[in-house]
Structure 1
Amino acid sequence: MPNKTLLVGILACLLCFSSFAQKKKKKKQKEELPKEVVIDSIIEPSKPINPLSPAKAAFYSAILPGLGQAYNKKYWKIPIVYGAIGTGVYFYINNNKEYNRYRDAYKSRLAGFTNDEFYLDSQGNQLTTPRVTTEKLEDAQKFYRRNKEISLLVTLGMYALNIIDANVDAHLLQYNVDENLSLAPHYKLNEFDSSGNLGLTLNFKF
């Protein structure tokens, strides 16, 4: 009888220790599992796209160079636009002036006169032979006429480029580009060994 009592007591103690160990193990596993991290994100609504904005910018630049850049709030481009177009206009005016000088002297020679500016010295005295011959006058006309045409083409090109730049800028300003990178933690349960994987996810948009 005492042996049976002792045996029952031992079994009861073993059952208590086993139950306590299982509870402690479950509690430890529960504590080791990482908590799910939830990050609230605020999504800001993007600005509505205005399909007429590029056309407006191009139209304004066509009316007045630099006005389309001001419409796009790219004010730093306005001096560049006027500098480029102004340079082309300057060279056109200068080449046109020189062309007219040589053309007038050439016409005067053809009419039989010898009183053009190239027949005079620096003090305004009449020369017996001109400083520039008639053939040189003809060559100078061709040279300055060609330069005048090139200057005109460059000026028109800068004017067209000013319109294109305003149009392209207005298109690019309507792209929804988020400069902030999205960095968020994530938790994934491994199905093979029932363990958890904790990591970070980095997302960015072009």
Structure 2
Amino acid sequence: MKSRTSILFILFLLFVGPLFAQQDTLLVSAQKVVEEPAYEPYDPLSPARAAFYSAVLPGLGQAYNGKYWKIPVVYTALGIGVYFYIDNDQQYDRYRDAYKSRLAGKTTDEFSDANGEPIVSTNGLIEAQRFYQRNKEISVLVTLGLYALNIIDANVDAHLQQFNVSEDLSVKPAVDFDQYSGKTGYGLSLNYQF
């Protein structure tokens, strides 16, 4: 009877003992897996704030988002639009002044030679005024479009900063060679690690 009890005790230790040992290791490994990375809290007003800052002063929304390299791009784009508006306005004024001078009966204007003969006809002056007036209007529209693009960029960039990009997610090109048909298949594989 004593040998039978000792055999049962040994069998009990052999089968139940490892279960307790595995349970301890599972608890330790579960504690390691539960660790979550530290994320900044979500600020739902951040995109609206960045757009407002860019609307008040172009480039300020980009500075709010921490994208300082975009500020010179914004000012260069707006500066080019303003430059073309001013240049077209000056050209328009030149042709308008010459046209008004011709209507007043004067023959010495910027677009006449030394003898008073016109280099550019009166109809040419009218067409030039229309051309530069249209270019001024286009310059204003392009500048306003770039200003709006500045606001949209600040808003979208603030939205994307709150987007969680994990290292566990990857997209890789994949090549699959079919042994039976001898053809190669191309595609993308999306890998996500839990």
Deviation at 1:69, TM superposition (A): 0.4
Counterpart residue number, 2:85: 92
Q: Which runs of 5+ in 1 are unaligned?
A: 1-18, 121-125, 183-201
Q: Does 1:119 align with 2:112?
A: yes
Deviation at 1:46, TM superposition (A): 2.2
The residue correspondences of 1:102-117 to structure 2 (distance < 5 A) are: 102-117=95-110
Change (3 A) 1:204 1:108: farther
Task: Quote the Cα distance in structure 2 between the aligned partners of 1:176 and 1:135.
Answer: 63
Residue-by-residue CA offset, 1:71-113 (whole Å, 9 max, x unaligned)? 0001111121112111111111111110110011101111111
| Equivalences, count | 153
Counterpart residue number, 1:44: 37
8 A contact 2:111–2:119 mirrored in 1: yes
Q: Does 1:79 align with 2:72?
A: yes
Select 2:162's aligned residue among 174, 180, 192. Answer: 174
Q: Does 1:130 align with 2:123?
A: no
Deviation at 1:178, TM superposition (A): 2.0
Q: Does 1:149 align with 2:100?
A: no
Task: Quote the Cα distance in structure 2 between the aligned partners of 1:101 and 1:79.
Answer: 32
Deviation at 1:157, TM superposition (A): 0.3
Query: What SS does structure 1 have at the residue aligned with 2:151?
Result: helix
More relative contact order, 1 or 2 (CA 8 Å, 6+ apart): 1
Task: Quote the Cα distance in structure 1 between the aligned partners of 2:152 and 2:163.
Answer: 18
Change (3 A) 1:98 1:181: closer
Deviation at 1:118, TM superposition (A): 1.2
Deviation at 1:177, TM superposition (A): 2.4
Larger Rg: 1
Residue 154 of structure 2 aligns to which amino acid in structure 1?
A
Instruction: Indicate the percent of aligned positions where both proteins have the same amino acid.
Output: 61
- Give the TM-score, by structure 2 length: 0.70
Q: Which runs of 5+ in 2 are unaligned?
A: 1-6, 171-190
Change (3 A) 1:204 1:66: farther
Deviation at 1:204, TM superposition (A): 4.0
Select 2:56's aligned residue among 38, 63, 81. Answer: 63
Residue-by-residue CA offset, 1:17-62 (whole Å, 9 max, x unaligned)? xx9xxx9xx99xx9xxx99773613212421111211111111111
Out of 36-45 and 95-104, give the one that drifted further.
36-45
Task: Quote the Cα distance in structure 2 between the aligned partners of 1:204 and 1:181.
Answer: 7
- Give the TM-score, by structure 1 length: 0.66
Change (3 A) 1:45 1:63: same
Select 2:152's aligned residue among 133, 145, 164. Answer: 164
Give the aligned CA root-mean-square deviation in angstroms: 2.7
Counterpart residue number, 1:5: none
